Structure 1
Amino acid sequence: MPVRSSPRQASPHVGSVVATDGPAKPVVGAEFPVPPDIEAVAAARREVVRAVRDWPVSLPAALLDDLELLTGEVIANAVRHTRAACSVVVRWTGERVRVEVADSSGVRPEVRRGAVDAEGGRGLVLLGALAADWGSVRDGAGKVVWFEMGPRKQPVPWSTPGAWTITATDGTAASGYLPEWAEDDPTETGVPPEELDRRLVLVNHRTFFEGPLAPVTAPDLWDGAEDEPLFEGSIDCNPHAPDARLRIPVANLRVAEGRWILGLSPEGLGDIAGKLRAQADLLEGKVRAALVAARDDWAVRHER
């Protein structure tokens, strides 16, 4: 599937480098297809990281980890939702790593407030949190979803440390406290006055935490087992949310794909943690021993 987006040089094979004349920075890029098989996603995301590691550019290990995570999310969404092959392009823009995934669906991803558990919702949340920038464009009958990893461009003017400000074109402004743990700053300027109230409702302070990976089977979503994080999530605060319960920090837990426990207070989070500890004790103290005994019995009964 051809990929068409912003103008670029023709993409070479994976991991190759195209050098420019003279001492200018090299232009590097790679392109490859991904078959319509969810099991091909892991190999594809590793291929992107392997290509980037071969480039003559210096990238921190943490950025490469995030690059692999986001690449897997975007490719998996393309394969799951189209059940068709997609095409991956990765290149160096001179400041950032840019990944483009082209698929055959014309439906562009859209972040819907309160829908982190919707189809593809986790990937969009991660893109917003980890990518320096991301978006999508129509591409014939299909689309290209792209994201960039690297330094973020700060809004101008940048907010005062500990505060954010949204300013409308008529000079009207709204501001609030920006907690140190928040991963993004909602500060912006040039907002149409009629949009100010809506922008305030969308202000969301968030920080993510990770969960352990485990092989998860979801027959309604994919074939076989995939390594999926369990009980990852975020701490969120929406100071202008219509629901007053969300105007103070709450925890949101992703149990597994498409399954969330939302709006937890500190007491509620402690209750969940206690239940998980009790379940871990049960698994280690009783279920594991019962499983070993069952296997031993099975082996004896089937020795022939």
Structure 2
Amino acid sequence: MSHTIAPGKAAPSAPPAQPNLSDLRLAFSHGFRVSADEAAVAAARREVPAVARGWGVPLTDETFSDLGLLSSEVITNAIRHTNAPCAVVMRWTGTRVRVEVTDVSPVRPKPRHGSLDAEGGRGLLLVNALAADWGSIDDPAGKVVWFELGPSDGTPPPWSTPGKWTITTDSGSATSGYLPAWAEDDPTEVNVPLDQLTERLAGINHRNFFEGPMLPLTAPDVWEGVEEDAVFEGSVDCNPYDPDPGLRVPVVNLQVCVGRWILGLDPHGLAEVAAKLHAHADFLEAKVRPALVAAREDWAAHQPPAQQRSPASGP
């Protein structure tokens, strides 16, 4: 589960006392706001590893350096592509430092193909190369891009039990639930303020992403030119505490294209969408494509040669 803060609101910081690393159930978090000025990124780059060092987390000097570098890259992307402030939340999970950057854009990032030395878009290439894990999720404020640094062997936090999550409050009460094997995140957390338990439970979202085919998309009213992006990608989601009982069981959410979704599909609904896509693919191949070929041949046969040239081809 990702806990985020809206831009302009600070998350509670960890107590100043050093954590007892023999008891990794102590989970610390720290949040801050970064203004819409790339000059502010330098301060954020220093703050993230400094806070992690203050917690006494057992990371190498190289990992602390990577922590500042990747924070800088993700924060820079958030500011550069939104021209708005972003919010940063970091926490120690017991095995990794997790950094979450929330910005106001709903467009989730995709790494570009290229080298780490390429100009532009190198941020996600670095994150992909150096982070133990990373990803992005939708958020009411826009989206969250997160990464984790620490052991890369997938070792779960020592308090995590396979097939079960547990949220323990600062008063000692514990709430547990089933953790599916397919879920990409474990909402297990300790020392949660009792008055925040309801919010934590409401935010639990067991999720597993799947990709869609990349196609050239254009939105003349939004951006210029053509951009490659995925269509009909999405996720399997389950929100066990959602007010809607239909979302307390796994459903599929499909992003038709950037910013356009088909939500809450049960197996029957997903089958209907798949059947319609199959039928439409058959229609495109069996009917539309031959009609297009015939139309182009007819057009070429009836147009004077001068009118068949592209305007960009010149005289």
Once residues 157 and 254 of structure 1 are traced to their aligned partners in structure 2, the CA distance between those partners, rounded to angstroms, is: 35
Contact 1:182 1:206 in 2 (8 A): yes
Equivalent residue for 2:172? 171
Equivalent residue for 2:216? 215
The alpha-carbon deviation at position 122 of structure 1 amounts to 4.2
Distance 1:202-1:302 versus aligned 2 partners, 3 A rule: same
Equivalent residue for 1:255? 256
The alpha-carbon deviation at position 243 of structure 1 amounts to 1.0
Once residues 145 and 65 of structure 2 are traced to their aligned partners in structure 1, the CA distance between those partners, rounded to angstroms, is: 13
Once residues 231 and 239 of structure 2 are traced to their aligned partners in structure 1, the CA distance between those partners, rounded to angstroms, is: 24
The alpha-carbon deviation at position 225 of structure 1 amounts to 1.4
Equivalent residue for 1:226? 227
Measured against aligned partners, the alpha-carbon deviations of 1:65-123 in whole angstroms (never above 9, x if no partner) come to xxxxxxxxxxxxxxxxxxxxxxxxxx961798552414383432699xxxxxx962242
Contact 1:210 1:229 in 2 (8 A): yes
- Secondary structure at the residue paired with 1:290? helix
Once residues 188 and 154 of structure 1 are traced to their aligned partners in structure 2, the CA distance between those partners, rounded to angstroms, is: 16
Distance 1:124-1:194 versus aligned 2 partners, 3 A rule: farther
Once residues 200 and 107 of structure 1 are traced to their aligned partners in structure 2, the CA distance between those partners, rounded to angstroms, is: 27
> Which residue identity is paired with 1:182?
A
Once residues 174 and 125 of structure 1 are traced to their aligned partners in structure 2, the CA distance between those partners, rounded to angstroms, is: 35
**Structural RMSD (CA):** 3.8
Are 2:105 and 1:120 equivalent residues in the alignment?
yes
Equivalent residue for 2:85? 107
User: For 1:54-203, what aligned pairs fall within 5 Å after superposition?
Assistant: 93=66, 99-100=73-74, 101=76, 102-103=79-80, 105-108=83-86, 120-123=105-108, 132=133, 148=147, 151=150, 156-203=157-204
TM-score by length of 1: 0.59
Contact 1:251 1:265 in 2 (8 A): yes
Distance 1:92-1:175 versus aligned 2 partners, 3 A rule: same
Contact 2:169 2:193 in 1 (8 A): yes
Contact 1:209 1:232 in 2 (8 A): yes
Equivalent residue for 1:236? 237
Once residues 249 and 146 of structure 1 are traced to their aligned partners in structure 2, the CA distance between those partners, rounded to angstroms, is: 23
The alpha-carbon deviation at position 134 of structure 1 amounts to 8.6
> Which residue identity is paired with 1:268?
G
- Secondary structure at the residue paired with 2:252? strand
Once residues 105 and 282 of structure 1 are traced to their aligned partners in structure 2, the CA distance between those partners, rounded to angstroms, is: 43
- Secondary structure at the residue paired with 2:234? strand
Are 2:46 and 1:7 equivalent residues in the alignment?
yes
TM-score by length of 2: 0.57
> Which residue identity is paired with 1:213?
M
Unaligned segments of structure 1, at least 5 residues: 9-24, 28-56, 58-90, 112-117, 136-144
Once residues 244 and 162 of structure 2 are traced to their aligned partners in structure 1, the CA distance between those partners, rounded to angstroms, is: 27
- Secondary structure at the residue paired with 1:93? helix
Once residues 240 and 277 of structure 1 are traced to their aligned partners in structure 2, the CA distance between those partners, rounded to angstroms, is: 34
- Secondary structure at the residue paired with 1:289? helix
Once residues 286 and 277 of structure 1 are traced to their aligned partners in structure 2, the CA distance between those partners, rounded to angstroms, is: 14
Unaligned segments of structure 2, at least 5 residues: 1-37, 48-59, 90-102, 112-123, 137-143, 306-315
Distance 1:288-1:133 versus aligned 2 partners, 3 A rule: closer
Distance 1:177-1:246 versus aligned 2 partners, 3 A rule: same
User: For 1:28-67, what aligned pairs fall within 5 Å after superposition?
Assistant: none
Once residues 259 and 150 of structure 1 are traced to their aligned partners in structure 2, the CA distance between those partners, rounded to angstroms, is: 32
Once residues 304 and 261 of structure 2 are traced to their aligned partners in structure 1, the CA distance between those partners, rounded to angstroms, is: 45
- Secondary structure at the residue paired with 1:6? helix
User: Which is greater in Rg?
Assistant: 2
Higher relative contact order, structure no. (Cα contacts within 8 Å, ≥ 6 residues apart) = 2
Measured against aligned partners, the alpha-carbon deviations of 1:238-290 in whole angstroms (never above 9, x if no partner) come to 00111111000001000011110000110000000000000000001110111
Once residues 302 and 104 of structure 2 are traced to their aligned partners in structure 1, the CA distance between those partners, rounded to angstroms, is: 45
The alpha-carbon deviation at position 198 of structure 1 amounts to 1.2
- Secondary structure at the residue paired with 1:121? coil
Identity of aligned residues (%): 47
The alpha-carbon deviation at position 301 of structure 1 amounts to 1.7
